């Protein structure tokens, strides 16, 4: 008989105003890779946090090998062999890998027998193919390596069930492939892997079984031979979704934005843009692919006047705008949707009225010499909220209570309504569910129709290939590729994102890389 | 049998009812706590409290004294609230008050014969500039190098107090003052007129006018909007093209200027000269007042009167042999309970059974 390793029965978890989990059941078998699929806000992360001991359920039971368990803290869950790797890594950057792995372990004396420990970790690594340099400092590691450290840390603590929260969100396609191989190896060694995701292709690629959640409820469980994209979408969204957008194919106009050999430093004073050169034309979407941390954010800030240009020129309609003040650049018609919606693009404590005039409160339309024109401010907010279909209960409520999708709509509403000549957007759909993503994408395509030049910076290649007219690749502060979208190919862009001609050489020398 | 437990649940929006009830309950709890201490020291709390109440609010004289104490509290609280609005933690109102008093004193000491229409405006302007510059001294390193203004404003308090001491013990000491650390008395033209024949002076109108102006600035003005954005999120403000450095300098200067005005009003309206220890810590109490008022300028007026009354009541019971520290203790206790009670504006307490069924709110 197939005994479940873990069973969740009738889990209920309430947050103010939301029923995050509504009597959800879940079975996890040893040795399987089990995907938890659902849109944002469907309750996947909440459910896993209950399993990992972070939240106490309001009702329901957790059974481990058939016996009921109560977790009062993640420590209890870890003691039962359940470990979670969060989306945002919980590592101490200045510490070494080995120090991070033993961190928080009880019973380790400070002067731990170093050799013994390292041998143990190395053995674990060999068993699962997770090789890491134990003496490296964590800040020196790539994102993929950091994730590996998190996984090894959980294994070191004896986890038999490993929960990964959207593990590929931060990885390149290559790194993701590697991760999947490792997960497969761990599963065959008897671990159970629980994968939280909203990407269908990942589920198809790796999962043995998938549990689909929708709006906090269990929508269905699919066995391995039942897994197919169509069925999963149906369970997830309750309707079919457009896989391609209708694109306006009218010819593009003149150059709006041009970066000419721009150099800039990041917050740590290290070079982050190296002779960056690119241009975007009127009515064109340039999709800039790249793993985050390769200078994308800094590039957007340079264009918006928020970061110093060390050398080179930023030209807007042939006028040099490098190192002008942010306000001058805004008034010249540059809109910017930053990656950090809440805290940069929008002010969490302020209400929608106030947030919607953030960039033009000083213009005659909204204020006189001293006082704000409160009627104009209110009219502006009412119109925008209606036009962009932002779901909001009151214009006077702090906007921090809104969902990610509504925040992004609010932000785009403000930026688009300024009728910009150039729009810079970073990761516009990050963290949004399928419905909200579609809405955001349509807004960008609509803006393109109005002849705005759009610089779309993204890690999501699907997004770029769906929206862009041209695909650029950025790596280590340089443009390493630039193709019309019809000539761009997914594998090549993926390889270029990881940098180096090394990737190209490998492709030429050996057999074609299988991705 | 289900076990019952309490559980805190976050509210979506702060409860408006609690915003009003909590300060009231906090005052009551503070009185209760103070009462326990009084009982332990062998006093009857009811006698002490009624004495405090009658002497501060129950007679014309008491009310007058309460207002006299409330005026500097109002001004310094309004001053710090402006800086707090932008999350600039100006703890230096006390020092700014002393510097304002000092600069205002310079005019009648140097030009005792000026007519009143030059003297008073001159003293007001000098007092505000001195308080403002004293605050600006901390704003500049804050704007350029992000030097923590809590430390610098606090430390400059001691410098300002000792500087005033130096003056009144030294160069500015009244040669005919029988060696007391005081300056010569001001000419009549350097005195703010009183209201009727009471000690309450026209400085009260400065406070009332400033409160109204600040209320409008915070709520309806373009500048107030940008202060609010900068205070809530500096990154968003920069992104929106606001000039953060200029606003740090401006807000800190004005914040200090208002406290400087408080100093001017003290020497000109009450004492008529500069002396050692002109403020019993108004600038520090102002921090509590501003915080309890949630930076609402009109609430500051009311809370200042309450705290003025506490101070007067404290002096009153001292005559009966009860330490005046009772008042300070009550101030502290009120703040303590209000801060503790703040949890209830953002969370609600729920009684739940172990099974997770809701029983009551």
**B222 touches A at CB < 8 Å:** yes
Q: Where are the alpha helices (DSSP H) in A13-113?
A: 44-51, 74-79, 97-102
| Per-residue pLDDT tens digits for A277-294 | 999 999 999 999 887 778
| Per-residue pLDDT tens digits for B151-210 | 999 999 999 999 999 999 999 998 887 788 899 999 999 999 988 778 889 999 999 999
Rg (CA), chain B: 23
**A18 touches B at CB < 8 Å:** no
CB contacts, 8 Å: A361 with chain B: 222, 225-226, 240
Q: Nearest CA to B54 among B38, B43, B44, B66?
A: B66
pLDDT at residue A503, as a whole number: 45
Residue for token pair 């040099």: A320
Cα–Cα dist B55/B303, whole Å:
18
CA distances from B22 to A202, A234, B256 (A): 52, 50, 31
pLDDT at residue A420, as a whole number: 95
Cα–Cα dist A192/A2, whole Å:
14
| Per-residue pLDDT tens digits for B73-91 | 999 999 999 999 999 999 9
**Do the Cβ atoms of B45 and B35 come closer than 8 Å?**
yes
Closest approach of A334 to chain B, Cα-based (Å): 12
**B16 touches A at CB < 8 Å:** no
Judged by CB atoms within 8 Å, which residues 223-262 of B form the interface with A?
A: 223, 225-226, 228-229, 232-233, 235-236, 238-242
pLDDT (average), residues A102-126: 71
CB contacts, 8 Å: A57 with chain B: 356
Cα–Cα dist B260/B254, whole Å:
9
| Per-residue pLDDT tens digits for B216-248 | 999 999 999 999 999 999 999 999 999 999 999
Closest approach of A222 to chain B, Cα-based (Å): 31
Q: Do A6-237 and A242-333+419-515 agree at the fold level?
A: yes
**B146 touches A at CB < 8 Å:** no
**Do the Cβ atoms of B294 and B303 come closer than 8 Å?**
no
Closest approach of B225 to chain A, Cα-based (Å): 8
Say whether B235 and A344 touch across the interface (CB within 8 A). yes
CB contacts, 8 Å: A407 with chain B: none
CA nearest to B223 within chain A? A370
CB contacts, 8 Å: B242 with chain A: 327
CA nearest to A400 within chain B? B12
Q: Which residue of A300, A344, A363 is the best one to mutate when testing the B interface, meaning the one whose CB has the most B CBs within 10 A?
A: A344
Closest approach of B221 to chain A, Cα-based (Å): 4
| Per-residue pLDDT tens digits for A412-464 | 999 999 999 999 999 898 777 778 888 899 999 999 999 999 999 987 778 88
Residue A148: both structure tokens together: 């590996």
Cα–Cα dist B325/B336, whole Å:
16
A33-37 and A192-197 beta bridge pairing: parallel
| Residue bearing the bigger pLDDT, A197 or A308 | A308
Closest approach of A370 to chain B, Cα-based (Å): 6
Residue A90: both structure tokens together: 């919980």
Closest partner CB to A347 (pick from B220, B223, B236): B236
> Furthest-apart CA pair in chain A: how many Å?
79
Residue ranges of domains in chain A:
6-237, 242-333+419-515, 342-418
CB contacts, 8 Å: B241 with chain A: 305, 325-330, 359
Q: Taking CB atoms and an 8 Å cut-off, how many pairs form between chains A and B? A: 82
| Per-residue pLDDT tens digits for B49-77 | 998 888 888 888 899 999 999 999 999 99
CATH T-level topology, domain A242-333+419-515? Rossmann fold (3.40.50)
CATH of A6-237, picked from 1.20.1250.20, 2.40.110.10, 3.40.50.300, 3.60.21.70, is 3.40.50.300
Q: Nearest CA to B5 among B274, B354, B305?
A: B354
pLDDT at A317 over 50: yes
Say whether B235 and A343 touch across the interface (CB within 8 A). yes
Give me the sheet containing B358-360, strands edge to edge: B4-10, B347-353, B358-360
Closest approach of B15 to chain A, Cα-based (Å): 13
Say whether A336 and B239 touch across the interface (CB within 8 A). yes
Q: Which residue of B236, B354, B355 is the best one to mutate when testing the A interface, meaning the one whose CB has the most A CBs within 10 A?
A: B236
CA nearest to A60 within chain B? B355
pLDDT at residue B357, as a whole number: 42
Q: Nearest CA to A134 among B30, A120, B148, A504?
A: A120
pTM: 0.77
CB contacts, 8 Å: A348 with chain B: 232-233
| Per-residue pLDDT tens digits for A504-513 | 444 444 444 3
Closest partner CB to A326 (pick from B220, B232, B241): B241
Residue for token pair 């066995």: A223
Summary mean pLDDT of chain B? 90
Residues in chain B, overall count: 361
DSSP secondary structure of B135-203: HHHHHHHHHHH---HHHHHHHHHHHHHHHHHHHHHTTT--TTSTT-SB-PPPPGGGSPPBSTTSS-BTH
pLDDT at A502 over 60: no
**Do the Cβ atoms of B139 and B150 come closer than 8 Å?**
no
Sign of the CA dihedral with A496 first, then A501, A505, and A506 last: negative
A453-458 and A422-426 beta bridge pairing: parallel
CB contacts, 8 Å: A359 with chain B: 240-241
Bridge partners, A474 (sequence order): A479
Bridge partners, A473 (sequence order): A289, A481
């Amino acid at each position: 008989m197939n005994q479940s390793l873990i069973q969740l029965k009738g889990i209920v978890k309430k947050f103010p105003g939301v029923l995050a989990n509504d009597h959800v059941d879940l079975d996890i078998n040893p040795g399987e890779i089990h995907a938890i699929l659902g849109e944002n806000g469907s309750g996947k992360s909440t459910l896993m946090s209950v399993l990992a001991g972070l939240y106490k359920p309001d009702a329901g039971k957790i059974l481990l090998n058939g016996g009921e368990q109560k977790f009062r803290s993640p420590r209890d869950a870890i003691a039962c062999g359940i470990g979670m790797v969060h989306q945002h890594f919980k590592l101490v950057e200045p510490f070494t890998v080995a120090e991070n792995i033993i961190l928080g372990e009880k019973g380790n004396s400070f002067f731990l027998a170093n050799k013994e420990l390292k041998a143990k970790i190395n053995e674990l690594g060999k068993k699962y193919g997770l090789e890491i340099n134990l003496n490296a400092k964590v800040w020196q590691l790539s994102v993929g390596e950091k994730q590996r450290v998190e996984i090894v840390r959980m294994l070191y603590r004896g986890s038999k069930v490993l929960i990964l929260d959207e593990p590929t969100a931060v990885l390149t396609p290559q790194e993701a492939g590697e991760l999947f191989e490792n997960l497969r190896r761990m599963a065959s060694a008897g671990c159970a892997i629980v994968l939280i995701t909203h990407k269908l292709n990942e589920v198809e690629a790796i999962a043995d079984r998938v549990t689909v959640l929708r709006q906090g409820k269990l929508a269905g469980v699919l066995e391995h031979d039942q897994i197919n994209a169509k069925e999963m979408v149906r369970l997830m969204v309750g309707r079919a979704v457009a896989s391609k957008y209708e694109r306006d194919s009218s010819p593009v106009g003149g150059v709006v934005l041009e970066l000419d050999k721009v150099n800039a430093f990041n917050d740590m004073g290290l070079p982050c843009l190296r002779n960056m050169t690119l241009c975007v034309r009127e009515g064109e979407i340039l999709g800039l692919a790249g793993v985050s941390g390769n200078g994308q954010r800094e590039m957007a800030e340079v264009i918006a006047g928020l970061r110093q240009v060390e050398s080179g020129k930023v030209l807007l309609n042939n006028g040099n705008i490098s190192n002008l003040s942010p306000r001058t650049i805004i008034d010249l018609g540059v809109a910017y949707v930053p990656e950090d919606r809440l805290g940069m693009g929008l002010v969490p404590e302020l209400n929608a009225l106030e947030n919607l005039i953030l960039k033009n409160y000083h213009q005659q339309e909204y204020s006189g010499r001293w006082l704000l024109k409160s009627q104009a401010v209110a009219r502006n907010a009412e119109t925008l909220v209606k036009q962009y279909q932002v779901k909001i209960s009151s214009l006077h409520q702090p906007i921090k209570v809104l969902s990610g999708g509504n925040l992004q709509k609010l932000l785009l509403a403000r930026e688009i309504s300024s009728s910009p000549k150039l729009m810079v957007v970073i990761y516009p759909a990050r963290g949004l569910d399928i419905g909200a993503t579609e809405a955001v994408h349509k807004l960008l395509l609509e803006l393109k129709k109005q002849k705005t030049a759009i610089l779309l910076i993204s890690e999501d290649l699907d997004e770029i290939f769906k929206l862009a007219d041209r695909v650029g690749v950025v790596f280590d502060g340089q443009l390493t590729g630039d193709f019309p979208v019809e000539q761009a190919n997914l594998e090549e862009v993926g390889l270029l994102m990881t940098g180096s001609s090394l990737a190209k050489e490998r492709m030429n020398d050996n057999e074609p890389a299988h991705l | 049998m289900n076990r019952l437990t309490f559980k805190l649940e976050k509210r979506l929006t702060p409860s408006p009812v609690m915003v009003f009830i909590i300060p009231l309950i906090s005052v009551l709890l503070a009185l209760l706590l103070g009462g326990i201490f009084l009982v332990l020291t062998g006093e009857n709390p009811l006698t002490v409290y009624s004495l405090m109440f009658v002497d501060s609010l129950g007679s014309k004289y008491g009310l007058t004294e309460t207002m006299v104490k409330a005026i500097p509290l109002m001004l310094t609280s309004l001053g710090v609230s402006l800086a707090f609005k932008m999350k600039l933690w100006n703890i230096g109102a006390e020092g700014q008050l002393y510097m304002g008093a000092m600069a205002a004193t310079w005019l009648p000491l140097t030009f005792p014969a000026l007519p009143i229409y030059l003297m008073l405006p001159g003293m007001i302007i000098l007092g505000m500039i001195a308080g403002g510059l004293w605050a600006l001294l901390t704003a500049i390193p804050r704007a350029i190098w992000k030097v923590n203004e809590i430390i610098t404003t606090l430390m400059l308090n001691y410098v300002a107090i000792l500087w005033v001491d130096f003056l009144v013990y030294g160069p500015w000491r009244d040669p005919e003052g029988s060696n007391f650390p005081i300056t010569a008395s001001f000419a009549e033209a350097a005195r703010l007129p009183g209201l009727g024949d009471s000690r309450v002076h026209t400085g009260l109108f400065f406070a009332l006018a400033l409160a109204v102006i600040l209320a409008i600035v915070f709520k309806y003005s373009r500048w107030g909007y940008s202060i609010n954005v900068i205070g809530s999120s500096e990154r968003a403000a920069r992104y929106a093209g606001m000039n953060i450095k200029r606003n740090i300098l401006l807000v800190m200067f004005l914040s200090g200027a208002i406290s400087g005005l408080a100093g001017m009003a003290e020497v000109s309206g009450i004492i008529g000269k500069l002396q050692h220890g002109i403020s019993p810590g108004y600038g520090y109490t102002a921090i509590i007042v501003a915080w309890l008022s949630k930076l609402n300028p009109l609430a500051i007026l009311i809370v200042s009167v309450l705290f003025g009354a506490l101070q007067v009541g404290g002096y009153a019971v001292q005559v009966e042999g009860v330490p005046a520290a009772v008042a300070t203790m009550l101030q502290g206790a009120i703040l303590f309970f209000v801060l503790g009670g703040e949890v209830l504006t953002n969370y609600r307490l729920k009684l739940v059974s172990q099974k997770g069924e809701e029983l009551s709110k």
